Amino acid sequence: MRLVTIEDGPARGQRLLQLRNGAGLEVEIAVDRGFDLATLRFRGVNVGWNSSVGLRTPSFPGDLEHGLGPLRSFDGFLVTCGLDHYGKPAEGPAGHFAYGLRNTVTYPLHGRVSAQPATIRGYGLRDDSSPVVWCEGEVRQAAVFGEVLVLTRRIEIPLFEGRITLTDTVTNRGFRPTRHAMLYHFKVGFPFLDESSELTGQFEKLQHAFKSEPRIPSDDAHEKVDVVQPEADSDGLVNVGMRNPALDGGVSLQIEVRKAQLPTVALWRCWQSGLYVVGIEPCTPLPDSLEFNGDDSFEFLPASATRRYDIGITVAAD
């Protein structure tokens, strides 16, 4: 593992944690972009997706452009969406923050957490009977008379396996209830994504529609989203993913989540020229209400309360 700083271009000044292991897995952690996974490669082959913005430092205010400001820095294999909102830009009441000068809360596209720099809590090699390279960061999304939400993320990669584990905890460090929602925007791109790619796991019910789409770049293609409510196995786990049988003899990507934590999974794709991307998106239920209706509201996190999310990512050769 290595901590580096980018010295040129739109990402200048950002810190990256570079993780590599003996199975050929390469990951870059964007420390200053929500501690997200900026890059994913397997045995030298790109699996993740990067956009035209070039891992830009997210200095563009998300509230601008009618809440679409985050598209100015949208990039990488994983963009975490939250901590109080995901989905389309929205506006809701602010009474739960008890501040007379603020009547509404503005929620930009997919929230603000991916634009927040993290504090690195540690990184290194745990050298025991099951050695792993690991790193841990803390991301704070906060405002005066607003939310004070803290994401603590630990990432572990076994030394000789093509597997990544994310352990996230989100805690309301404020003294008022705060809206909470999470979506994990895992995005894949070329060459892992091409005309040969297939859906796997509990996405298989979408396989026919997926294969029938013209999966070649098109100048006028629009984005599409399908949402599934997958059933958990006997261990309470849900598995969704993709496979490319034509890439180096076959390479697969599997995302594993706990149904009780992230009960919904969306499949986003856009075959538009210059984008060409598929997103695998485990998420909490989209909140039905933007208004606080008491401490029993699932959409809100009481003061000092914590929620946990456990995610496994496996990349393997056939």
Summarize the confidence of residues 281-304 as an average pLDDT: 82
Centroid of chain to Cα 268? 13
- pLDDT over threshold 80, residue 293: no
The model's confidence at residue 65, banded by pLDDT at 50, 70 and 90, is: confident
> For residue 74, what are its two tokens?
């949208």
**Gap between the Cα atoms of 263 and 232, Å rounded:** 9
Q: How many domains does one find in the chain? A: 1
For residue 251, is pLDDT > 90? yes
Query: Quick check: pTM over 0.85?
Result: yes
The residue to which tokens 């460090």 are assigned? 173
pLDDT, the chain, mean: 94
Residue 295 clears pLDDT 70, i.e. is over it = no
> What CATH code is carried by the domain that includes residue 48?
2.70.98.10
Nearest to 256 by CA among 234, 241, 278, 272: 241
The separation between the first and the last C-alpha atoms of the chain, rounded to the nearest angstrom, is 27
Average pLDDT over residues 272-290: 90
C-alpha to C-alpha distance for 267 and 278, rounded to whole angstroms:
7
Average pLDDT over residues 78-95: 95
Q: Using pLDDT thresholds of 50, 70 and 90, give the confidence band for residue 290.
A: confident
137-196 pLDDT, tens digit per residue, is 999 999 999 999 999 999 999 999 999 999 999 999 999 999 999 999 999 999 999 999
What is the rounded CA–CA span in Å between residue 60 and residue 281? 24
- What is the span of the domain harbouring residue 250? 2-317
Q: Is the pLDDT of residue 211 over 70?
A: yes
Reported confidence tier of residue 248, pLDDT bands at 50, 70, 90: confident
pLDDT at 296 over 70: no
* pLDDT > 80? residue 56: yes
Instruction: Give bridge partners of residue 140 from the DSSP assignment.
Output: 150
Provide mean pLDDT across the span 259-288: 94
Q: Could you say which DSSP state residue 48 is in?
A: B
